[in-house]
Amino acid sequence: MIDEGIGGLAAILAHPDDESFSCAGALALARDAGRTTRLLVATLGEAGNPEGVADPLLGEMREDELRCAAERIGLDEVTLLDGYPDGGVAEQPFERLVSDIAAWLSDRRPDAVVTFGAHGVTGNRDHIIVGSATRWAVERLAEAGIAPNAVYVVSPVFGPTANRFDLSPEEQGATHRIDVTAVIGRKITALECHASQTDAAEAIRDIRAALDADGLIFEGYTRVRPPVPPPHPNFGTRLL
């Protein structure tokens, strides 16, 4: 049980590097505003190689990369769950995952949570299951009166790689557009920590190209709890 630092912004994701690709900017901004920032990751990412075959040494490397990225972003806490294999989260008991996430949330009581939406941005099954379990966990906590004030899903429609994804309606229909230009250096250096992943270097190139072209970088989110009724012509500009 954590006795201090209750509240703030938490992200619940599936793999090391998910935080750097998706919500590093929002987390960095929250930290700079004096809010507690935390990250819960379900797997070690040990199958994050071209073959998709689990490699314990890669898992150790990716955990180190995650902690490097967390330091660059400025996170207060990083937690890794036990017993959820990379690429195999869907094969584990869903009730156990919901309970693990609910227990983590109930100890920390964040004000807002970021997770994956119905398509998991890229269609990755681990992303989808972790996002779904997080939302079930929040509803369970709501019954006890301790749910986060808001839940957001990643909506990368403003990012330089947005057109690569076949997004779900909620991921496509962003309610919040967060200007992360002021902390984009931290997002880039966090991505640099994930050197084992070739797409991290691609993301860095895309971000730098977007900066050269537009001078601004945004992250997108959809608030799914409480929902924002359409139409919403004016985007929210902060998560907390």
Q: pLDDT tens, 171-193?
A: 999 999 999 999 999 999 999 99
In DSSP terms, 179 is beta-bridged to 218
pLDDT score recorded for residue 2: 39
pTM for this entry: 0.96
CATH architecture entry for 9-225 = 3-Layer(aba) Sandwich (3.40)
The mean pLDDT of 210-237, rounded to a whole number, is 94
Is 169's pLDDT higher than 90? yes
d(CA 191, CA 203): 8
Spans of all domains in the chain? 9-225
Is-contact 47 85, C-beta < 8 A?
A: yes
pLDDT in tens, 78-123: 999 999 999 999 999 999 999 999 999 999 999 999 999 999 999 9
User: Is the peptide bond prior to 229 cis by the omega test (within 30 degrees of 0)?
Assistant: no
pLDDT in tens, 117-161: 999 999 999 999 999 999 999 999 999 999 999 999 999 999 887
